[in-house]
Amino acid sequence: MTKNKAELHYDGKTLELPVLEGTEGELALDINKLRQESGLVTLDHGFMNTASCTSAITFLDGENGILRYRGYPIEELAEKSTFVEVAYLLVYGELPNVERLKWFKEKLNTFTATKPELKQLIQHFPKSAHPMGVLASVLSAMSAYYPEYLDPELKPDQVDNVIAQTMAQVKNFAAYNYRASQGQSLIDAKASNEYCTDFLAQMYGSNPDPEVAKALNILLILHADHEQNCSTSTVRLVGSSQANVYAAISSGVNALWGPLHGGANQAVIEMLQEIQADGGGYKKFILKAKDKNDNFRLMGFGHRVYKNFDPRAKIIKQACDAILTKLKIQDPLLDIAKGLEEEALKDPYFVERKLYPNVDFYSGIIYKALNIPTNMFTVMFALGRLPGWLAQWKEMNESPATKIGRPRQIYTGSTVRSYVPMDKRS
Ligand code: ACO
């Protein structure tokens, strides 16, 4: 991988740093020996310039709005594939043939039954509990019931099992929690149903219109992986300590919850509702977003990596129009969102900072059309992201380069001082 090298001149010494090149031409300075050979560490707030690993799962080019899973463009996968097929692709590296897909579906079906104790746990949470907190807790609790998957040295077939189990169970947990929060009885998974169809059947008691299930498949495919984002890096970091997969995935759910990450889809709808309640004018909110003395941000706008457009947002916007037309829904929030987008994209503040709608800007409107309650939007994101987290966890465990994640710091506190007795303190 080494194409060239860079030189670092420091304190009279010259240090050679290899330059690595990825398969899509991305270049990186290899600083693995930096501290050992120069005594220096690097400081990189928010990891804006730091690659934490090598990975063969997802390629993302933020300047050109490119997203590919295992080499396949997201646009093609969203149009032609299903979520389960994409999950297989992410985890195992290739699109499944007929036999492999059958094998994967059977694996998922093997693990659809949820232990009564875990169902009871979900039913014991207050009805008002946020579904992300419930999901993270129940995932964590799985470690209590499946000790066979806690060993850091899982065999390949155990890895296959725990991946299928987690995908089957998170779907149940999300639907069960919704039913419990409504005071309704829980509906178990039905093996003969397609994954997204079954999820909606478990939520609402009957199979959805195939177009609705297709829309959900598209949404989950678009969310399925996004390389080393906040939640995925969390999964890898927790997993790097050899904590079990439930602990790692549960941590990913918690990281996703924040409004700067997956929680943005809930925040977008709440923002659009606020604009609607205020009379529907965008200008005031755009001014607020630009005001440095105001904490308000245009939710669903901006991205750490995409600086041109988010390809997922483009697909979602079209899917949003299609599903609302199909369901004959006229949602004024969609008009507000489109107007806000148009206004913001003309504004020099957003243009100069390259702030565009991200995946979360329109996804909430589709979830709303599918009757998914607002506080469950981020759970839908988690359901979609799950195969990505699992694929990244598996890749990390299989890589000989993996080490426990342990960043350095630049200490800025007091230098050494002596303990002061209470009566001498000011
Ligand atoms: N509204 C108004 N201003 C914004 C916004 C926004 N949504 N996003 C960024 N900016 C401004 C910042 O104030 C900053 O301005 P400055 O240079 O004058 O200080 C500049 O744009 C750069 O922003 P940063 O916060 O430094 O960019 P960063 O890469 O750290 O953050 C993030 C990216 C968190 C996504 C940010 O754009 C944001 O908060 N967006 C809104 C929340 C959101 O939609 N999150 C979902 C992201 S997609 C996902 O995780 C699935």
Residue 66: its H or E element = strand 66-69
> Residues 208, 197: contact at Cβ < 8 Å?
yes
What pLDDT score does 308 carry? 86
What pLDDT score does 3 carry? 62
The dihedral built from the CA positions of residue 70, 163, 98 and 194, taken in this order, carries a sign that is negative
CB-count exposure of residue 14 (10 Å: 0-12, 13-18, 19+): exposed
User: At residue 122, does pLDDT exceed 90?
Assistant: yes
Ligand 1 atom index nearest CA of 292: 13
Among 130-139, 164-173, 343-352, which stretch is predicted with the lowest mean pLDDT? Answer: 343-352
User: At residue 281, does pLDDT exceed 90?
Assistant: no
Read off the pLDDT of each residue in 30-45 and give the average, rounded to a whole number.
95
CA distance 124 to 387: 28
Read off the pLDDT of each residue in 27-49 and give the average, rounded to a whole number.
95
- CA 302–ligand 1 middle distance (angstroms): 5
Question: To the nearest whole number, what is the mean pLDDT of the chain?
Answer: 95
Ligand 1 atom index nearest CA of 358: 48
User: At residue 397, does pLDDT exceed 90?
Assistant: yes
303 in catalytic set: yes
The label of the residue with tokens 């934490």 reads 52
- CA 139–ligand 1 middle distance (angstroms): 30
Own/partner pairs, 270-274, CB within 8 angstroms, 24+ separation: 270/299, 270/374, 271/298, 271/299, 271/300, 272/333, 272/336, 272/337, 272/340, 272/364, 273/333
Return residue ranges of the chain for CATH 2.20.28.60: 2-51
Read off the pLDDT of each residue in 360-380 and give the average, rounded to a whole number.
92
Q: What is the DSSP letter of 64?
A: T
What pLDDT score does 282 carry? 86
Return residue ranges of the chain for CATH 1.10.230.10: 264-369
Read off the pLDDT of each residue in 83-103 and give the average, rounded to a whole number.
98
225 in catalytic set: no
- CA 357–ligand 1 middle distance (angstroms): 11
User: At residue 109, does pLDDT exceed 90?
Assistant: yes
CA distance 332 to 316: 17
What pLDDT score does 280 carry? 75
CA distance 232 to 236: 6
CA distance 401 to 392: 14
Question: Which residue, judged by its Cα, is nearest atom 45 of ligand 1?
Answer: 260
Question: Which residue, judged by its Cα, is nearest atom 50 of ligand 1?
Answer: 261
Which overall architecture, per CATH, does domain 2-51 show?
A: Single Sheet (2.20)
Return residue ranges of the chain for CATH 1.10.580.10: 98-258+374-382+389-395
pLDDT above 90 covers a percentage of the chain that reads 91
What pLDDT score does 2 carry? 54
pLDDT in tens, 172-190: 999 999 999 999 999 999 9
CA distance 253 to 386: 9
Ligand 1 atom index nearest CA of 303: 35
pLDDT above 70 covers a percentage of the chain that reads 99
Helices 156-181 and 131-145 cross at an angle (nearest 10°) of 140
98-258+374-382+389-395: CATH superfamily: Citrate Synthase, domain 1 (1.10.580.10)
The active-site residue out of 130, 198, 303, 347 is: 303
| Closest alpha carbon to 138 in 240, 249, 265, 223 | 249
User: At residue 192, does pLDDT exceed 80?
Assistant: yes
- CA 230–ligand 1 middle distance (angstroms): 14
Ligand 1 contacts (CB < 6 A) are 46, 260-262, 264, 289, 297-304, 353, 355, 358-360
Compute φ and ψ for 61, nearest 5 degrees. -120, 100
- CA 54–ligand 1 middle distance (angstroms): 26
Provide the CATH number for the domain formed by 264-369 in this structure: 1.10.230.10
